[in-house]
Amino acid sequence: MSTPANNPAKPTSTDSKAVQVKSDSGNSNSGKTTIEDAVVAKVVGIATREVPGVYALGGGAARAIGAIRDVVGNTDLTQGVSVEVGEKQAAVDITLVVEYPSPLKGVADQVRSAVYNAVEKLVGLDVVEVNITVSDIHIPSDDKNTETQESAKAIEGSRVE
């Protein structure tokens, strides 16, 4: 197996980490699989977004930037997710916003379970911890009030005609 020291074409930067996963085929000559940290973070982000009660990922500033990215069609699935990946294990930190009135602990437990399952099943790494920070609660009534006001204006506008 080559190492960065004897293979000058391979980057040695620590900015982009990757993990090599051994094949379960039993054939040691079948090659190697390298999974970038960003891929693990994306798996975590997707699994988290699928949990009922999760409104968004990231803190306030990250969500503002994420909203701009969404408008231009470039959603960041790793927003609010940080991973540390070792050779066989991963640790995950997630910052999220929960939909009111979802129970915060229940949503956090479901997110934790979804992340464990997704990373272990899809990536093949053991998850040692999933730390969750709930940074905000989204209140749907705020959205409904805005929609109701817009609807009322539209109805009044149609009556004027």
Model's pTM, two decimal places?
0.70
Residue whose token pair is 């949990």:
51
CA–CA distance, 88 with 16 (Å, rounded to integer): 17
For the domain spanning 18-160, the CATH number is 3.30.70.1350
Per-residue confidence at 69, pLDDT binned at 50, 70, 90? low
Answer yes or no: is pLDDT of 24 > 70.
Answer: no
Instruction: Give 45's contacts (C-beta < 8 A, 6+ positions apart).
Output: 57, 77, 78, 79, 80, 81
- Residue 19 confidence (pLDDT): 74
pLDDT band at 8 (very low <50, low <70, confident <90, very high): very low
- pLDDT tens for residues 125-155? 999 999 999 999 999 887 766 555 655 555 6
Distance of CA 5 to CAs 19, 20, 97, Å? 18, 17, 44
Cα 137 from chain centroid (whole Å): 18
